[in-house]
Each structure stands twice: as C-alpha cells, then as structure tokens.
Structure 1
Amino acid sequence: MRNSPNRLIATAFGAVYLLVGLVGFAVTSGIGFFSTEGANLIIFEVNPLHNVIHLAIGAALLYAGLKNVPAARTINAGVGAVYLLVGILGLFLLSSPLNIIALNGADNVLHLASAVLLLGVGLSVEKTPAAVRV
C-alpha cells in the first residue's frame, strides 16, 4: 500500500469518511432524515441521510484501498466524479427544498476539493516497480 497513491488515498479518505459518518450521528439526533437544514459538525452541516452517505462512501473507499490497486483506482475515480457532481449541484441547492442532504458552503468546498484529489489520483497512471534483475 505504501507504493500506491491510490490505495493510500482510498484508505485514508475511507477511514476519515467513516469517522465523519459515525460522529455525525452524535450531533444529528432530533433532526429529520431528509432535513434541508442539518446540525453543525465543525463547520459542515449534516443530517442523518448525509451521515449514511458518508458511511457508505467511507466503507467503499476503505475496502477498495485495502483490496488492491485496480479497485482503489476505480473507487477513487468514481467517488471523485460523484463528488464533483455533488459539489457543482450543491452550489445551486443551498437554499432549495431539494437540499435533502443539508449541504452548506463549506460542504461544497470540501466536496469539490475531494473531487479534485480523488479524480486526480484515480485517473493517474500508477507506477509499477521495475522488475528486479539478477
């Protein structure tokens, strides 16, 4: 895993998103599952649906990062593409009743930054170690 940026990023992001999903449930008691306004987790707004999404994405990233390079590349690129879409759509949903995952400006910045990093590493070419010659 130390030789693969894809596996390292997938594993690290997976662990962080799992943690964020779990901690998010501690601050969202009493908030509706699809509430357009969530509770603050540091500077980010979350609701229970947002927490479930974080758990699912975190589990997928962590699993792929621990599995192998092709799985990590695929998940990094896929999650990066989804985060790019969510980051762009989130700009238009902030004060809308369609904002069912309680996005705020900080969420949009984080989703766009995550998209750039995940897409960048997921679409990059992995270096394969040169064969050892005897």
Structure 2
Amino acid sequence: MSNAARANGAGKHPAQYLALAIGIIYVLVGLAGFLVTGFDGFAEPEGDLLLGFEVNPLHNIVHLLIGAAGLALWSTLDRARTYGWLLAVGYGATFVYGLFVANSDDQANFLALNQADNILHLVSALAGLAIALWPARDRSTANTRR
C-alpha cells in the first residue's frame, strides 16, 4: 500500500475507526459539559444534567482526557487496542464504582455519577473490549475469500 493511501486512511482497521469515533464523541461531550456546568462545583457530588447524564467540571475533564486519548491512539491498530484496554479497564472500574455512589450526595461521588452514567460507562467498557479484541484482518487470505 502506498504512503498516499495510508495517509488517506486506506487500510485502517474497523477497531481504529471505532476508537476515533469514541474519542471524538467524548471530546464533544466534555466540551458540551462545560457549557452546562461552567467551572463551578469542580468535584461536587451534585452535578448538572447534560442529556440526562449528571456531570461536574471534573467529570468534563475526564471526558476530555478520554476523548483526547482516542484521538491520539486511533492511528495504528496496536495503539487503538491500547485505547480499547484503557476504556475497558477504566470504564469497567468506573461502572463498578458508580454502582455504589451513583445518585448519592456523598463526597465519594466526586464525579457526580447517576444511573445513566453507569449505563454509558458499561457500554464504553464493552466498546473498549470490542476495540481491544477485534480480530485483525489476515491480508494474505483476504483477496482469496472474495
């Protein structure tokens, strides 16, 4: 494959595009979160609602970092898989954590999590597993299977 074809995205694995899409979505959600919360109540358990999801400024920063990681790591399959594992482990742990603190006024809920967040975190962890474990294409047999 030529360098020009690679530069145009030809030959990218679907897991890479999923990592890119998740990265873009989380950056946009992080930015939109700041439109809702501003910078007040940085790590308060009572956040503001963004499309049914509770957020606070710290939660928005986490979304921006997760999104930036996706944008930085989607370029190769190995990097995308690393991002997938980060999502799977990070959001898997956040899902379990959210089961204990969601919707509480306890200071332990420093990310202002609610049940909608828990569902999104579980879906994000599963998407991370999909990225990390998506089988690589075997280019040597791909042309003979047509």
TM-score using structure 1 length: 0.90
Gaps of 5+ in 1: none
CA–CA distance in structure 1, aligned partners of residues 66 and 12 of structure 2: 23
Within 5 A, what are the aligned runs for 1:32-111?
32-65=41-74, 67-94=75-102, 95=104, 96-111=106-121
Q: RMSD value over aligned CA atoms?
A: 1.8
1:5 is displaced (CA, Å) by 2.1
CA–CA distance in structure 1, aligned partners of residues 90 and 130 of structure 2: 13
Gaps of 5+ in 2: 1-8
Q: Which is higher, the Rg of structure 1 or of structure 2?
A: 2
CA–CA distance in structure 1, aligned partners of residues 124 and 41 of structure 2: 26
Runs of 4+ displaced beyond 3 Å: none
Which 10-residue stretch deviates more, 115-124 or 97-106?
115-124
TM-score using structure 2 length: 0.83
SS in structure 2 at match of 1:130: helix
What count of residue pairs does the alignment treat as equivalent? Answer: 132
Cα pair distance change 1:77/1:32, threshold 3 Å? same
CA–CA distance in structure 2, aligned partners of residues 60 and 100 of structure 1: 22
